[in-house]
Each structure stands twice: as C-alpha cells, then as structure tokens.
Structure 1
Amino acid sequence: MLFWLLYQKLFPYFRLFRIFRYVTFRCVFASLTALLIGLLIGPFVIDRLRQFQIGQYIREEGPQSHQKKGGTPTMGGVLICISILVPTLLWSDLSNPFVWLVFFSTLAFAAIGFADDYIKVVHKRNLGLTSRQKLAAQLGVSAIIASALLVLDWQGVYSTRLVVPFIKNFRPNLIIDTLLHTHFWPLAFLPFVLFVMFVITGASNAVNLTDGLDGLAIGCTIIAAGALTVLTYVSGHSVFSNYLELQRMPMVSELTIFCGAMVGASIGFLWYNAHPAEIFMGDVGSLMLGGAIATVAVVIKQELLLPFIGGVFIMEALSVMLQVGSYKLRNGKRIFRMAPIHHHFELLGWSESKVIARFWILALVFALFALTTLKLR
C-alpha cells in the first residue's frame, strides 16, 4: 500500500520517493516495520492471552523441567502472523501474484494452527485437531499452492523444472510432457503437485516439531528466513542470477520484502520468547512459519536446498521418524532418550539454554552451507 502510494502515485511529483523502487530498501523497511509491530503490540497480546487464560498445556511424558512452563500464554503465532503480513502489505508491490500466493500460504497454515490451538485451549488438553484432520488440511492448502503455480507456469512467469544443487545443467521437469496431449493429461501434473505437497507439508510439520524449547524454533526461523532473503534477492536480480547461473525469475524479487518481514517479525517475537519465555508461538506460529518458508523455497526453485536452509528443522523431524520407526520395528527399543532430539540432549544433562544456543549455531552452519552452494555449480 505504501509502495503504491509513495512510488507509483507520488513519485512523479516528489523525485525523492524514487528510493522506494528498490527492493533492498523496501526489504529493510519491511523488516524494521515487522520488528516494531512485534515489540510494540507484544505486551498487549501477552496480557490478552493471560486475560482469556490461553495457556500452554505441558504433556506429562515430556521432560519434568518443562512442567513449570504450564500456563504460559500460547498462540503467540498470531503476533508473528500480524507482524509478517502487515509489512508485506505495506511495502510490497501488490500486483505481484507471488506476493499473494505466499500471503495465502501464511494465512492458511496459520488458520490450521489456530484451529488446533483453539481446540486444545477449550478442552484444556494436549490434543487439538486429529493427526488426519491436520494432515488433510495441510495437504489441501499445499495442493492449492501447487495448482496456482501451475497456472503461473502456463502464464510463463514460473517453471516446474527442478533446480538441482551442484549440477547446473540437470533440470528435470516435474511435468510429464508425453502425457499432456493424451486422454490422461491430468496425470501429467501429478508429480509436480505431489512434490509441492510433500515439501510444504513436511516443512510445516518439521518446524512444529522443533518448537519445544524457549526460542529454539523462532531463532532457527530467523536464520532460515535470512538465508531465504538472500536467495530470493539473487534469484530475481539479473546480474546476480546470471553470475551464479541461477534460473532468473524477475517477479520473485518482491518476495524479498516478505522474507525481510519474516526476519523482523521473528526477532520481535524472540524478544518475548527467549528463555524463560513469556509467550509460546503454538501451532498457529510453527505451522505457519514452516508453510511460509517452504512456499518461498518452492517459488524461487530452491526446494532441494530447503534441507540445508532449515537444517535443524529437518534434523528434528528425522529424529522423530527414526524414534517411531525404531520403536515399532525393534520391539519397543528407542534410539534417543526422547524425541524430538532436543529433548534427548536435555535428558543427557544439557541445560535448556545450552541446547538452544548450540542448535542455533547448527542452524547457522546449515544456512551458510546452503548459500555456498550458489557458486558450487
């Protein structure tokens, strides 16, 4: 909105407003706006959540040191959502379809998490939506996003070809061309749709599993969103994309503003979520952030870099999968003392702050490695 007002409407009369044409400048403003929104309305949100007795339920089978956290205000993801979407609306070019696609993804996954958290709060138990209900909703939203990307591919502003790290000349198409002109043409799009559904739903759940310690998930989100900000900018920049031999997508550069807003919003939330936390993000925050991160990665064709961009999230999800698989296949034997893996280190005697700090370091290493792959092609 401010971009439309200051640049598209007032720039012909005030040449100073030319600066608002630059994505980097608007990205900084979006990040600062998101940070200020988070810091300013954070206390109000926390007070309201306490007033309505929207507190966190701590499962009994979790670490005993976490029982004292019971009753801490949750559903703070609403604060993150507002802090991301408002600056995006203010500083982005709203004629860009990718902005609205990521906007929809953020809002839709936030709604799924909100429903899950709300049911938990109403029934005062650690069970909201059933696993099937939550998964069905996530897959449904992901399928809508995949369908929208297919439309954008048809319009020539997106590509369904996969970008493979380290191999610059190998870009397989996830659409089966040989089926397009047959009676089975709908099946031609199935690989792409399934792939997008897997990536976005998987990332959403991975962030959700990581959200178990004060500031852990949001700190890793800051790092992942920062890496995505760089990747989004270079993917839309003609000089950088050519130099790095990336597939240039000029229209995705506007998502740099969204990623910058995610960084600012996450920092603002960390102010209140740092150990000992005054507020938890809940599923409304974790599902939303995972869905948003994955959607941006899919749009800028960096899906295969996502395991490095969000390395800690993947590590946490894999630890749960390994633990469950071991328990079922090895007659109740476990690999870790408790999953997700951050609880395993807690039970080994690490303090919560030490686990958080070391996982942040891991997240930074993963993200830096993801950025180095830009030139290793």
Structure 2
Amino acid sequence: MLIYLAKNIILLHPWCAVVFNLISRAIFSLFTSFFICLWIAPSVISCLQKISCDQVIRSNGPQAHFQKRGTPTMGGIIILIAILASVLLWVKICNAYVYCVLFALVSYGAIGFIDDYRKIVHKNTIGLPPFWKYTFQSVIAIAMSTIMYIIGKDTFSTALVIPFVKHVIPQMGILYILLTYIVIVGTSNAANITDGLDGLAIMLIVLITSGLALVALATGNIRYATYLHIPYLSCASELFVVGTSICGAGLGFLWFNTYPAQIFMGDVGSLALGAALGVIAILLCQELLLMLMGGVFVIETISVILQVGSFKLRGRRLFRMAPLHHHYELQGFPEPRIVVRLWIISLMLVLFGLTSLQVR
C-alpha cells in the first residue's frame, strides 16, 4: 500500500526510492509486525483473561503442564493481525503470490479459531472433531493446489527443486496437486503438533521462514537464480517481504510466549503459520528444502505416527509420550533446555538447507 502512496514522493525526491526498495521494505516489514505485536499483545492478553480463554491442559499430559492452567490461548490472533497489517503496508499488493500466502494464513487461521473456541467452550482438548478439521483443511488445500497447477502448468512454477542436485528440475505434472496438498496440510498439522512447549513452535517457524525468505530473495532475482541453478520466478521477490513480516510477528509474539509463557499461540496461530510456511515453499518450488529445514517438525510428526502405529499394532508404546518433546519432558529434562536445544537443531538444519542450494 505504501508503495503506491510513495510514487509521487519518489518522483519529487529520488533518494526516497532507496527507502522503498525490496531490502528496505523487508526490514520495515519485520519491524512493523514486531512492534505491532508488542503494542497489542498486552491488551489482547488482558482481554482473553477477562473472558476466560484459558488453555485446556491434557489430563494425561506431563504433570508440569498443570502449572500452566489459567494461561490464555488463541494468541495466534496477535500474530495474524501483525502479519496482515505489515504485509498490506509494505508489499506490492498486485502480487499473486502474496495473495496465496495470505489466503492460506486467514483460512487456516479460521479453522484454528473454531478449534480453539470449541476447546474453551466445552472445556476439553477435543475441539473441532478431527473429521471436520481435516476435511476443511483438505478442501482449502486441494482448491489452492488445483488453481496453482492450472495457472502454472508446464512452467517453473510446477517444477520441483531437488537439494544437492544440479541441472535436474523435474516437472511434477498432475502429481503437483498431490504434493502441494501434502505439503500444506502436513506442514500446518506438524506446526500444530510441535506447539506443545513455551516458545518452541514459534521460534522454529521464525527460523524456517527466515531461511525461505532468503531463498525467495534469490528466486526473485535472475542473477542469483541463475547462479544457484534454481527457477527464476519474478513474483517470488515479494515473498521476501512476507517472510520478514512473519519473522517479525513471530519474534514479537515470542516476547510473551517464552518460558514461562504469558499466552499460548493456540491452533489459530499454529495451523495458520504452518499452512503459510507450506505455501511459501510451494511457490518457491522448494518443497523438499522445507522438509530439510523443518526437520524438527518432521521428527515430531513421525514420532506421533510411530507411537500410534506401534500401540495399535503391538499394544506397546515406543516413547513415554508423543510428540517427542513430551518424551524428553517425562525423562526429566527441563522445558527450557528441550526448547533451546530444538531451536539449535532447527538453526543448523536451516543453515544446512541454505548450503544445499549453494553446492547444487
């Protein structure tokens, strides 16, 4: 929005063009979303406490979590407001990629809001029935996948970049729809599963998003894209600004979500941010890179699948509790130690993922 308002100013004062270039807008976007979070979070926390929007604690969860009773949830609303405001201020609104990410963010945020609301009203951890939850997620993901496939068919937009492999960028064909569906729904639910310790999921999202934002910067620049042997997508550069906005909002929320948390993100935040992360990776043709950078999400999700599968088939559990971070809690590891170590692992994976582009 500010880009269009600034056009006349730039004509009168050419030095102002520096302020509105891509890098500057990305930095301003980060600070904007960060300070919006700091500004509105105290009021939102107070409001949620007054209307008793408290996190429902699992009765069979770690005993230490019962100390968190009374902590408000649905804090993802703060993140979404900050991201939407920052993005609408600093990106070029005519960019289709931006609309794709915002649509995923809002639509999955709505699903998460309904889920959180039902948990609070019914005072249990069930929320939205799994059948309807996955149905709504699937309908949105399939609709987005189909539209993106029709628009980008047989172009770089529907290709797949393979980390560490040069000059091989296969076209996915109709399989693009299936891959896109799995990435959007899978990443959304993986973020939701991982959101079980104070500050864990939000910082992982910040780290992965920052890595993908750098990839977006390279993908939207023909020189960088050619050098790295990745598809050049002219619209991708605006995803750099979207990415920094998500990072800023995430860091702003972490200010209140770090241990001991003053507010929880809830499904409204985790489902929305996970879906947005998946869509960004898809638009950049970096679905496999997302799996590499988001290795902690992958491991946490696999731990749940293995736990459920083992119990149903063998009647035995592989872990003391799933997802994996609860297993370590029950082994006696302090929550902050688990969180920080998973942050470190995620940072290493993000850096390793960026390196994979360089050595292709």
Normalised-by-shorter TM-score class: over 0.9
* Preserved contact between residue 80 and residue 266 of structure 1 (Cα < 8 Å): yes
CA distance in 2: counterparts of 1:202 and 1:140, whole angstroms = 14
Structural mapping, 1:1-377, within 5 Å: 1-6=1-6, 8-153=7-152, 159-175=157-173, 189=174, 191-330=175-314, 332-377=315-360
* Preserved contact between residue 34 and residue 261 of structure 1 (Cα < 8 Å): yes
CA distance in 2: counterparts of 1:129 and 1:163, whole angstroms = 36
CA distance in 1: counterparts of 2:340 and 2:157, whole angstroms = 38
Partner in structure 2 of residue 180 of structure 1 = none
Q: Given the two structures, how large is their TM-score scaled by the length of structure 2?
A: 0.97
AA at the equivalent of 1:314: V
Task: List per-residue Cα deviations over 1:56-114 (Å, max 9, x = no partner).
Answer: 00011000110111121000000011111111000000011111111111111101100
AA at the equivalent of 2:259: H
Q: 1:199: how far off? A: 0.8
* Preserved contact between residue 3 and residue 20 of structure 1 (Cα < 8 Å): no
Change (3 A) 1:47 1:126: same
| Identity of matched residues, % | 42
Gaps of 5+ in 1: 176-188
Q: 1:138: how far off? A: 1.0
Task: List per-residue Cα deviations over 1:155-195 (Å, max 9, x = no partner).
Answer: 96x521111112222222221xxxxxxxxxxxxx3x22111
Partner in structure 2 of residue 183 of structure 1 = none
* Preserved contact between residue 154 and residue 171 of structure 2 (Cα < 8 Å): no
| Secondary structure of 2:285's aligned partner | coil
CA distance in 1: counterparts of 2:51 and 2:303, whole angstroms = 35
AA at the equivalent of 1:220: L
Q: Given the two structures, how large is their TM-score scaled by the length of structure 1?
A: 0.93
AA at the equivalent of 1:51: K
CA distance in 1: counterparts of 2:239 and 2:203, whole angstroms = 21
CA distance in 1: counterparts of 2:154 and 2:44, whole angstroms = 42
Equivalent residue pairs, number: 360
Q: 1:14: how far off? A: 2.4
Q: 1:154: how far off? A: 5.2
CA distance in 1: counterparts of 2:19 and 2:145, whole angstroms = 31
Q: 1:146: how far off? A: 1.2
CA distance in 2: counterparts of 1:123 and 1:341, whole angstroms = 27
CA distance in 1: counterparts of 2:95 and 2:8, whole angstroms = 17
Over aligned residue pairs, what C-alpha RMSD do you find? Answer: 1.3
CA distance in 1: counterparts of 2:168 and 2:336, whole angstroms = 43
Partner in structure 2 of residue 181 of structure 1 = none
Q: 1:10: how far off? A: 2.7
CA distance in 2: counterparts of 1:325 and 1:9, whole angstroms = 62
Runs of 4+ in 1 over 6 A off after TM superposition: none
Q: 1:324: how far off? A: 0.8
AA at the equivalent of 1:72: T
| Secondary structure of 1:374's aligned partner | helix
* Preserved contact between residue 208 and residue 293 of structure 2 (Cα < 8 Å): yes
CA distance in 1: counterparts of 2:181 and 2:223, whole angstroms = 32
Q: 1:287: how far off? A: 0.3
Gaps of 5+ in 2: none
